[in-house]
């Protein structure tokens, strides 16, 4: 805690978030009117009962929007305020303002919809696909020739896989505070991962140029992707109210409305076909992914390709054909979530390996180990595998967990215990780092060195609990040669650093710290030129270390502060703008080939579980994780990210059930009905950092935000391994999350369902 000042504020409860901000006099509070069902039409809105509550109440509809009634980015298919029809339960129909939040909510409840006609919704992506309700065109990536490869396979396994969505459950719900200014524009304090995206869409809705919209974000109380695209709508509503009334407007959702009206991780329904040689080598793999995109496009066109990119997991597969389709349904538009489509693709491959390995009479871990990526292999999207660490991290995890001994202990337990069975699973990780939309891999920074030697750093990065601010401060301090305490990372503002990209895709430090370093390097170069002139020393031998100017190993007697004061006197610029565009990445969409990632992160997890076969309940016993962190900028921050991401991934795989009914109503819409991992749910953890420098990223580091989430997938298969010990001859089911109810159905010989392989089986070849 002493090493990270933010930790002190968090522990003391003094960290300020959006809802903690003091509001200006005259502020109005906003509440949305949400659609009552998943699909319907209406002829009008009657606000009279709401307006009668209090003179401060105002109600705004789609007709009041001065610009475009449109939130879409990739596809213009999402209205800010529904106009005559709605397409999911929780879509915003009207904006209600009042002098207090409680009054606004009371007024919103009194707004009546006229001429309502409820329509039959579609909630299943396969049904939407069959009806032709798809977004854009399906995408296919391929390598080799799967059609001709099947005849060479000793075993061909086919099956169906279901993976449910996941609620973000950020501690701070969605919100924004908008203040009109005398230029006719608006200043928005937004809970967003993407200030420039908010700026652009607010400007569109208000009919303003972007330079009249300022967006600021100091920090977020969590986001996990849920505030990348979907913060924009709430910022637009607050801004609309502010401009139309001329008064500040604050909007902050309660938890139930947030869970009802915002997107989650995409559910997928998928089919696979995999072929193996007799020795366990994977020869061919095909998959079709039916992505449940929800009612609007949102970020689905970016999420789907990451599913395809990670379809083969950490394995070399010579023949691949994978196809993904975005299916439009009448559920809330699904959106970014930590992993961004990667976990769904990786889960399908692990299901395919599990089924094929059993058919070969092998444990899945044997197939996993036999097919790991090696240096020089080529990914199915055409990128060569470089600096591959798959075998190294897996071997280290096997040693850390005593894998062979562990499996022997589990087998002995299962022989001698009738009421409990144990299982273990391995998960090797390979995860690409970069935005899959190439143009998004850029970022800027503005660094000021003040004339007392203190430093202010502004970037496009958003601090949301992941420690990106601390990493940027450490990189800037190192580049300038000053103590970290001298550096302050400022709020993110669109007027300070323009045209920023979202803090997402695990690129926050990679891009923004590199941009900050470029700016700091420019200032340092100016100071060292001045120092060489002042001291008469060789410029190449000078450096600034911990605030002191050194010539070689000798102290020159000049401090960083002295140099800054002298530079100020000499009229030398002490500010610099830095810019970084990730080099070496490219992609041909027509050919579906290229180099979409700067590098890959590797790792491995081994997890054990014990199942009570009388109750269907289970516990996770131990988790061993070896994670490829390269040169860590801050090992404590990275360790926290690994452990937290793993907990979130394990929750998705084995606990968090995002449940909708057939009418499209979210059943798990409160924290009393949506289960989250807690200390009792988590296994004993042992995490080891695999440290080998990564020269293509800032400070020889590697991204850490998203990749560790995938380790949770091993938890699903650890429980499945234990269940199969109870019923060795039963067909596995692949339906995530692995809830106790599903485990009990399997144990009760009632495992039939959408995740059991869909009636498809395994074919053994002579």
How far does Cα 24 stand from its chain's mean position? 34
- In SS3 terms, 388-412 reads as CCHHHHHHHHHHHHCHHHHHHHHHH
The residue with tokens 């309660």 is 254
- Answer left, alpha or beta for residue 340, where phi above 0 means left and psi between -120 and 50 means alpha: left
Sequence-distant (6+) residues with CB within 8 A of 394 are 368, 369, 372, 426, 428, 604, 626
452: its two tokens: 């007392």
Intra-chain end-to-end CA distance of the chain, in Å: 62
Sequence-distant (6+) residues with CB within 8 A of 533 are none
The Cα-based distances of 169 to 259, 648, 668, 676, 677 in angstroms read: 8, 10, 12, 9, 11
* Interatomic CA distance for residues 344 and 347, integer angstroms: 5
The residue with tokens 């900028």 is 633
Residue 438, SS3? helix
* Interatomic CA distance for residues 713 and 603, integer angstroms: 13
How far does Cα 259 stand from its chain's mean position? 17
- CA 339-509-650 angle, to 5 degrees, is 30
- The answer to whether 706 is a known catalytic residue is yes
Q: Give 63's Cβ-side CA count (13 Å radius).
A: 4
Report the sign of the C-alpha dihedral through residues 733, 739, 741, 747, in that order: positive
Sequence-distant (6+) residues with CB within 8 A of 432 are 306, 309, 310, 596, 597, 599, 600
**Residue 512, φ and ψ in degrees, nearest 5:** -75, -35
* Interatomic CA distance for residues 608 and 684, integer angstroms: 10
Q: How many helices (H) and strands (E) does the chain have?
A: 19, 33
* Interatomic CA distance for residues 487 and 648, integer angstroms: 32
Residue 239, SS3? helix
Sequence-distant (6+) residues with CB within 8 A of 497 are 444, 445, 446, 458, 459, 460
* Interatomic CA distance for residues 606 and 397, integer angstroms: 7
Q: 618 pairs with which residues across the strands?
A: 611
Are the C-beta atoms of residues 213 and 9 closer than 8 Å to each other? Answer: no
From 167, 214, 656, 706, active-site residue: 706
Rg of the chain on CA atoms, in Å:
27
Task: Just list the catalytic residues.
Answer: 706
């Amino acid at each position: 805690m002493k090493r990270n000042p933010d930790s002190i504020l968090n522990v003391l409860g003094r960290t300020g978030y959006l809802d903690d901000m003091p509001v200006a006099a005259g502020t109005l509070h906003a509440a949305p009117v949400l659609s009552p069902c998943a699909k319907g039409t209406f002829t009008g809105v009657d606000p009279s009962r709401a307006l009668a509550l209090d003179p401060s109440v105002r109600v705004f509809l789609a007709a009041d929007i001065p610009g475009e009634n449109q939130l879409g980015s990739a596809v213009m298919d999402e209205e800010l305020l529904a106009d005559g029809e709605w397409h999911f339960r929780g879509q915003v129909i009207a904006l209600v303002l009042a002098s207090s939040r409680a009054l606004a909510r009371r007024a919103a409840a009194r707004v009546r919809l006229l001429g309502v006609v409820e329509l039959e919704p579609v909630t299943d992506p396969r049904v939407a696909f069959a009806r032709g309700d798809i977004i854009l065109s399906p995408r296919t990536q391929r390598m080799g020739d799967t059609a001709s490869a099947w005849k060479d396979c000793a075993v061909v396994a086919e099956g169906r896989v279901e993976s449910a969505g996941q609620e973000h459950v950020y501690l701070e719900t969605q919100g924004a505070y908008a203040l009109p200014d005398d230029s006719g524009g608006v200043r928005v304090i937004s809970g967003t991962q993407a200030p420039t995206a908010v700026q652009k869409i607010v400007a569109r809705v208000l009919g303003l140029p972007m330079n009249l919209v300022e967006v600021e974000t100091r920090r977020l109380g969590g986001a996990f992707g849920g505030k990348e695209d979907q913060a924009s709508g709430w910022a637009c509503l607050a801004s609309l109210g502010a401009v139309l009334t001329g008064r500040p407007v604050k909007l902050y959702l309660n938890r139930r409305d947030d869970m009802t009206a915002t997107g989650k991780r995409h559910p997928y329904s998928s089919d696979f076909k995999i072929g193996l040689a007799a020795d366990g080598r994977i020869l061919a793999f095909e998959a079709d992914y039916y992505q449940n995109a929800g009612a609007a496009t949102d970020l689905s066109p970016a999420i789907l390709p990451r599913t395809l990119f990670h379809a083969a997991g950490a394995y070399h597969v010579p023949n691949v054909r994978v196809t993904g389709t975005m299916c439009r349904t009448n559920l809330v538009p699904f959106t970014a979530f930590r992993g961004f489509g990667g976990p769904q693709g990786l889960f399908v491959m692990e299901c395919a390996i599990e089924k094929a390995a059993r058919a070969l009479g092998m444990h899945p871990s044997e197939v996993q180990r036999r097919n790991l990526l090696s240096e020089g292999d080529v990914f199915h999207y055409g990128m060569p595998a470089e600096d591959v660490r798959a075998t190294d991290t897996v071997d280290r995890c096997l040693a850390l967990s005593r894998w062979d001994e562990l499996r022997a202990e589990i087998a002995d337990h299962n022989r001698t215990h009738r009421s409990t069975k144990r299982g273990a699973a391995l998960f090797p990780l390979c995860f690409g780092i970069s935005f899959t939309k190439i143009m998004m891999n850029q970022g800027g920074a503005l660094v000021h060195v003040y004339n007392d030697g203190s430093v202010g750093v502004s970037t496009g990065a958003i601090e949301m609990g992941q420690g990106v601010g601390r990493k940027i401060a450490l990189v800037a301090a190192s580049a300038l040669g000053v103590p970290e305490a001298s550096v302050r990372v400022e709020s993110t503002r669109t007027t300070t650093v323009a045209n920023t990209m979202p803090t997402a895709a695990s690129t926050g430090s990679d891009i923004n710290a590199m941009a900050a370093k470029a700016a700091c390097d420019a200032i340092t170069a100016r100071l060292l030129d001045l120092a060489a002139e002042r001291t008469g020393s060789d410029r190449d031998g000078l450096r600034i270390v911990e605030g002191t100017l050194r010539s070689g190993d000798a102290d020159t007697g000049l401090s960083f502060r002295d140099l800054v004061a002298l530079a100020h006197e000499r009229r030398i610029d002490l500010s610099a703008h830095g810019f970084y565009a990730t080099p070496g990445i490219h992609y041909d969409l027509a050919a579906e080939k290229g180099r979409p990632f700067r590098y890959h992160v590797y790792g491995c997890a081994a997890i054990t579980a014990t199942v009570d076969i009388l109750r269907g309940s289970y516990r996770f016993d131990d988790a061993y994780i070896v994670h490829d962190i390269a040169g860590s900028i801050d090992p404590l921050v990275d360790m926290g990210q690994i452990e937290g991401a793993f907990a979130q991934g394990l929750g998705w795989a084995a606990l968090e059930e995002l449940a909708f009914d057939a009418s499209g109503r979210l059943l798990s819409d409160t924290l009393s009905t949506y289960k989250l991992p807690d200390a009792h749910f988590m296994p004993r953890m042992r995490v080891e950092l695999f440290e080998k420098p990564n020269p293509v990223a800032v400070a020889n580091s590697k991204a850490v935000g998203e990749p560790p989430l995938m380790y949770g997938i091993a938890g699903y298969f650890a429980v499945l391994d234990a269940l199969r010990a109870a019923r060795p001859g039963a067909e596995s089911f692949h339906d995530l999350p692995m809830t106790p109810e599903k485990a009990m159905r399997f144990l009760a010989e009632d495992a039939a369902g959408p995740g059991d392989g869909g009636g498809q089986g395994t074919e053994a070849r002579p």
